[in-house]
Structure 1
Amino acid sequence: MIRRLKYKEIDFEKYAACLENSEQRKYSASKTFLDVTTNKQWDILVYQDYEAVMPVPFILKKGVKIVHNPLICQQLGIFSAQDDQKINEKFLHFLQKNYLIRAYHFNETNTLDSKLKTKKNFLLYPGVYDQVFAKYSPKRKRKLRLDDEVKENSEIKEISFHEAEEFIRNNVVGLEKDNDANVLMQTLETFYSLQYLKFLAFYYHNEITNMIAIYSDYDTIALLGTFNDKKYIKMAGASTLIDYVIKENIESCIFDFEGGNLPSIEEFFRGFRPELKHYAVIENSKKKLIKDFAKFLMRGKLS
């Protein structure tokens, strides 16, 4: 039996226990991550007594819940001790029957019988750094051999959110709405204050040319943002930063690239020779939302 629980009804101890013991464990499904990225606007679907759970983030439009994965939250989905396709289908059916859905992303471990659109992600699993580096593409290895002049006049520094903010605002790309930049900055600042997030900057002649934001949680290091000054895009500062983080963490942590759907980004990530992972998504147009809204009104399903 699947139940829908509103935020105030969730037993967060049982929810956390289910996540921690799940085959699909993802940092992005944690209470902290969802509280920050959704401003506590999320429900959960629960199977039995928290044997499986499915977080459901939403936005409110005129009092109506519309399911929408929040900014920088790549994957959610179903979490259970063992992934079960039949149970996953029950969750999917319940979600589609009881919610208006703009965008919902499952995780790469979830198996589904239903044919849904998929997106790409890339993961590097723990290993000896020298062996991980040996698998990099020849092009990536060349990029990491910095010119002597660059090597002599560059350095990597961990910096504060305050130091990172202006560079991010000036160089962020790919956001759909004007307000998304403010939401992104607020989210990054909160994660930084909670000590989940670090900013690493590549300096050339004392000027920041590239920056990455990395999120750390248990056994995962996630690349939540890559920001580049286009004037220095050929200098390979971003590659150097990512390689630095991999070198420091790959023996004990998964490195999650958090993306790969744009051809240019996919090509860049593939240079590190990570494993390609597909995850299922539901994405509906505004036109379909309006149609579904009318159907839900007739059935009295909106809450």
Structure 2
Amino acid sequence: MNYRIYAEYWYLDALVENNWDCYVLNDYEAIMPLPFVKKFGFKFIVQPIYCQQLGVFHQDNFSKETFQLFENKLHRNLVRAYSFNEENTEMFEPKGKKRVNQIIELDQFHFENYSKMVQRNVNYFTKQQLVIKKNDKIEPLLNFKIQHRNHFVNIPYYKKLLTVLNHYKFLDIQFVEDEEVFGFVCFMKSKNRVFYLDSATSQTGKDKKVPTGIINEMLKELKSKKIIFDFEGSSIPSISKFYNGFGATIRNYTFYSNLNI
């Protein structure tokens, strides 16, 4: 069965509380979670933040005809934003626009796949002999995030997600400090994927190549395992280039909306 942590009931509850429905085939042979918001008496299907891919999650030998029953039922709703997962996109080609995710299949990971710039930054980070530490304390991370964020972050919403992930032991926070914190990276671990969830870095941390160093160590730790490292992609060219520098490959998922927004 194709799987994403995004479709776990507790994960959806953390993001949208009980504001989600689910289409189910027979005895859970397939499911399709549908997060929604209500506005002016109408229900709109909306993909929440920190939830890149949903769609149909199914067992093996799932037919295109059955998939289309799910897809057609979705189309009867007011859909502001909904994303089908990579497997749905590859196997069934749902209606919508293809978007880019960036992943590394870790059983095929090689340091030589890094760009020259990433290799230089990894070597620079290593020569400084900085120590990567782990921490399950969320509050210090949030305070650092507030001080060094470069875009808007809904801190209470973000804190709720991190707290739930920490409760279920799916959160891995790694950071670098030397008298002061230079930066951290949050990884989200699930059955067969490790997600690059978030990071924050001071200017000193950027100069010391802290995010690159932490990601490199995680990739080395998981090397050769049948696990996917998932960057979750980005439409921002500089961020996408950063991910590509680690040798990430492209996987498409499908974004669908039937509203002009």
Equivalent position of 2:172 in the other structure? 198
SS at match of 1:75: coil
Deviation at residue 188 of structure 1 after TM alignment: 1.4
Correspondent of 2:185 among 191, 201, 212: 212
SS at match of 1:182: helix
Equivalent position of 2:223 in the other structure? 250
* Unmatched segments (≥5 aa) in structure 2: none
Correspondent of 2:213 among 240, 257, 260: 240
Would the alpha carbon gap of residues 122 and 147 (structure 1) be closer, same or farther in structure 2, given more than 3 Å must change?
A: closer
Q: How far apart are the structure 1 equivalents of 2:132 and 2:258?
A: 42
SS at match of 1:127: helix
Q: How far apart are the structure 2 equivalents of 1:246 and 1:147?
A: 15
Equivalent position of 1:182 in the other structure? 156
Deviations 1:53-110 (Å, cap 9, x if unpaired)?
111111232553221112211111111124543333322221121x221211110111
Correspondent of 2:23 among 45, 48, 58: 45
Q: How far apart are the structure 1 equivalents of 2:221 and 2:113?
A: 17
Would the alpha carbon gap of residues 115 and 67 (structure 1) be closer, same or farther in structure 2, given more than 3 Å must change?
A: closer
Q: Which has the larger radius of gyration?
A: 1
CA root-mean-square deviation: 2.3
Q: How far apart are the structure 2 equivalents of 1:86 and 1:248?
A: 41
Matches within 5 A, 1:222-301: 222-252=195-225, 253-283=227-257, 288=260
Contact 2:138 2:159 in 1 (8 A): no
Would the alpha carbon gap of residues 254 and 96 (structure 1) be closer, same or farther in structure 2, given more than 3 Å must change?
A: same
Equivalent position of 2:110 in the other structure? 132
Deviation at residue 268 of structure 1 after TM alignment: 0.3
Correspondent of 2:72 among 93, 106, 119: 93
Deviation at residue 195 of structure 1 after TM alignment: 2.1
Q: How far apart are the structure 1 equivalents of 2:75 and 2:95?
A: 14
Percentage of pairs with the same residue:
26
User: Which of 1 and 2 has higher RCO (CA within 8 Å, sep 6+)?
Assistant: 2
TM-score with structure 1 setting the length: 0.76
1:116 has 2:93 as partner: no
TM-score with structure 2 setting the length: 0.88
Deviation at residue 185 of structure 1 after TM alignment: 2.0
Contact 2:95 2:256 in 1 (8 A): no
